[in-house]
Structure formats: structure tokens, C-alpha cells
Amino acid sequence: MHYCINCGAKTESIVPPMDNRLRDVCPECSYVHYVNPNNIVGVIGSFEGKVLLCKRNTEPRKNYWTVPAGFMENGESLLEGAQREASEEVGIKPMPSNLFMVYSVPHISQVHFYFYSRLEDMSTNIGEEINDIMFADYKDIPWDDLAFNSIRVLLKHFFEVGEEKAANSFFNLTSNG
């Protein structure tokens, strides 16, 4: 942040009083431009042991496979964000849902929250950010064409515990980069 979002003056990188790290601070109005991690919220849904995957229609990682997920918006809860993404991207209304995996990615300052939901059927309605979907069991997962490492970790843990136990499982993991 080179210019203050409050008054437009050029900012300075300093450690503010009572803080312990460099921030972009406005010398005119004293506004501190905090930059904090982003939350990614998503849903891993399954039907009869098969996971709903979707193929990205946007960069980055266009045409690679993932689960419906995206950036949490202001003013919504984790679950609301995850369900919004699932609704927007693949047209599912995942209820009920339990938090299945929290995945911290410190090197890019992200925290991913994936809810698990057992789907009532295989009906979907693909949004414009997605160009294909599939329901995949373990052997059908396109392991070499997954969009992100977090998705690989998510799917690996899902198939290790299995669909029956997924609703009662929780993993708190951190990417090692």
C-alpha cells in the first residue's frame, strides 16, 4: 500500500507504537494499513462414496480440478461463505455440513476452511467459474491435475477416513510450503 486509502498521502513503512512489525503507516492521518491472511472457504461434498470435483474455468490453474471454494466475503460466517461458493460454482445447497479440514498456508498467508457435506443426489448447476464437474472415487481422482496442494491433502484425508466417518472427522493441518 504506497498511498493511504484514507487520505491519499504517501505511506511510510514503520513499526507503529505498541506493535512489533513493519506496517505501511500514513504520516498525515496516522492510518495503519494492516495486511492479514485471507480465508478460503469451500465444501467437499460426496454422494455414495464419490466426491464432487469441479474444473476451474478461471486463472490461476484454469482447467485443473478442485472442490467448490473461494475467498470468504466480509459479513458472512465460514459456513455461509462455503455454502455460497458451493451454490455459485456448482449449484448445490450443502446441508448439513461439518468443518472437516482447516489448512493453514503460511507462505502465502492463507487459511483454508473446508466443510464436509453428504449430498442428497448428484444434481448440479455449473456456474461460469467452472467448466466441468465429476463425481470421483479414489481411483478416479485426477491426482496429477489437481489445482492446488490443499485439494490433494483434503482428498487424501477424505478417502483415508471414508464417507461414513467424514461427518465426524476434523483435521487441523499446516502446509510446509
- The footprint of Zn ion (CB under 5 A) covers 4, 6-7, 9, 26, 28-29, 31
- CB of 28 or CB of 140, closer to Zn ion: 28
- CB of 32 or CB of 126, closer to Zn ion: 32
Q: Rounded to whole angstroms, how far apart are CA atoms 171 and 51?
A: 18
Closest distance of CB 160 from Zn ion, Å: 51
Question: What is the DSSP code (8-state) at residue 169?
Answer: -
- Three-state SS at 151: helix
- CB of 14 or CB of 29, closer to Zn ion: 29
Phi, psi of 67 (to 5 degrees): -110, 160
Q: Which of 146, 44, 127, 134 is nearest to 89 (CA)?
A: 127
Alpha-helix residue ranges (DSSP H) falling in the chain: 78-90, 149-161, 163-166
- CB of 24 or CB of 85, closer to Zn ion: 24
